[in-house]
Structure 1
Amino acid sequence: MTVIKAAAILTLWRDGRFDTMDIAQALTVHEADVVRVIDAARERARCTVPLQVV
């Protein structure tokens, strides 16, 4: 999956009009990948420790 597709997933999901299957079909990716991207974004939003470059 590309970064562009991941960004599109988050944009469509945040719009609130599409479910994970609709997004997967529109972007020709597996629904599981859509769920993983959404879960990762939610986890990142909950994270209190900022990411650091080592």
Structure 2
Amino acid sequence: MRFLFFFFVLILLALWAAFFSRPNNPTLSNWLYVLAGVLAVLFLIGYLRLDGVI
């Protein structure tokens, strides 16, 4: 359960950084959105494994 909280915090930090870096550096912002998406997929897989679905 602790690693899911870690992923959740990282997703929030990546989304926050992507939102606020958009005006100055759109390329960095795009990469941060991709990172947040990948972490969200890992979060979903971890949650489903913890729940016993996978």
Q: TM-score range by the shorter chain?
A: 0.3 to 0.5
- Identify, as 1 or 2, the structure richer in helix: 2
Greater Rg by CA: 2
- Structure having greater relative contact order (Cα 8 Å, sep ≥ 6): 2
TM-score where L is the length of structure 2: 0.40
